[in-house]
Amino acid sequence: MKQRLFILLLLFPVFGQLFAQPELIPYRKGDQWGFCDREKNIFIVPQHDEVFPFINGYARVRNGTRFGVIDMQGRIIVPIAFDYVSDESEGMFAARQGVFPASLAGYYDTSGRAVIPFRFIETLPFKNGKAMVKLGKFPELKHVFIDRNGKMLDYYGASGDYQVMGLPSQGMTRFKKGGKWGFLNSDGVEIMKPTYEDAGDFKEGLAYVKNKGKYGYIDLSGSVVIPFKFDMATDFFKGVAIVYELVNIKDEFNSETPKYGLIDKKGVALTPMHFDFIGLFDKEDKVAVVRKDNKQSFIDLKGKEIIPFKYDVVSEFHEGVAVVKALVGGRALSGIIDKTGKEIVPLSDIRFNRFSEGLIAFEKDRKVGFMNTKGEIVISAKYDGFIWRNFDRTSGSSEFVNGICPVLKGGQITYINVKGEEYAED
């Protein structure tokens, strides 16, 4: 008996592989959509007007103007009857009927049950067992948090007098009450009364707050660590925060313009306040886009400028390269550079999208193809355009996710893989 059990245990991984659910890819046949595997074997017969990639075993689908959710066997989990349905998050789907603010929203679970009644104006996906919802009558809407049973969490505003709530961060949650901001601790106790005109979440032990028109920073005890002297402030990242001050430019309108700089956690300036703009630092590359004298470049966490200010627009870095744009002789040109400023793809009339999974969509002579980070063409320019969708459908454009990407061909959306193989038949 033990020997038989041992053999079964050895064979279990094999059985798992034999019966494992294959990775499914949106597949178009004419105007109808279903799903196939990587080898183009059909698993869900094309029968929908549109489908979206599977996430955690569930995919959103559209028939006409209505959205719903199916599982990997093609069974309907959320009825195809809603104006909006979210992707799966913690076993729940946020769904909405009607257009905001004349809308009703609630939640379905993965068994296909409407587990939280449709009584909210708007619902957001669950995160860490909580979801933010909006209720009331527009424009006097109240933001509250609910648990997975739909119960409002008392210390997140169910008492009825909190206008807006933030998300918990470092054991603290910011709230707005009577037009002012304060903070609750993890027990829901107001340990910082609502006295601030604005407030951010706690990051690295500090939060920006606004008092008498100026921003400064407080610590977790509520003590002011950096005085109120800035006109704008951001969260700290790796010990650095972006701030700006308004400067009078002395024109006929007596205008003011912001000048940006970096400070450390003691409020010491790491750069002069001389940038026209500083973007947020990229968490991977730890550099930020900056603008000065109508040109853009990058700075690191010490404020050091990485490349010369000679481009009109620069993108964030991706796998060591970034897209740059410049107006030359009245022509809008684009190229790709590495972190030393070397042009991997020289400035030309080619248009670029964003990098994703090592590839970037480019447009030349009104046709779209894909390059790698070395500037080599890996999928020839034969498609009709970048794909853009609105919030109620999906975010992003012609970008690869898990090795597949939507493109436009002959007026139809078609998915391709990184080799340019198409998952469609016309």
The answer on pLDDT for 7 being more than 50 is no
Give the Cα separation of 63 and 80 in Å (integer): 7
The answer on pLDDT for 277 being more than 60 is yes
Percent of the chain clearing pLDDT 90 (strictly above): 70
Identify the pLDDT of residue 242. 98
Average pLDDT over the chain, rounded to an integer:
89
Mean pLDDT computed over 273-284: 94
Identify the pLDDT of residue 202. 97
Q: Of the ranges 12-26, 110-124, 253-267, 407-421, which one carries the lowest mean pLDDT score?
A: 12-26
Percent of the chain clearing pLDDT 70 (strictly above): 91
> What does the pLDDT look like over 159-209, one tens digit per residue?
446 777 787 899 999 999 888 999 998 887 889 999 999 999 999 999 999
Local confidence band at 395 (pLDDT 50, 70, 90 cut-offs): very low
Identify the pLDDT of residue 389. 54
pTM of the model: 0.76
Q: Which of 95-104, 125-134, 375-384 has the highest mean pLDDT?
A: 375-384
The answer on pLDDT for 220 being more than 70 is yes
Identify the pLDDT of residue 394. 43
Mean pLDDT computed over 116-127: 92
Between 37 and 135, the higher pLDDT residue: 37
Domain boundaries, the chain: 311-426
Local confidence band at 154 (pLDDT 50, 70, 90 cut-offs): low
Identify the pLDDT of residue 418. 94
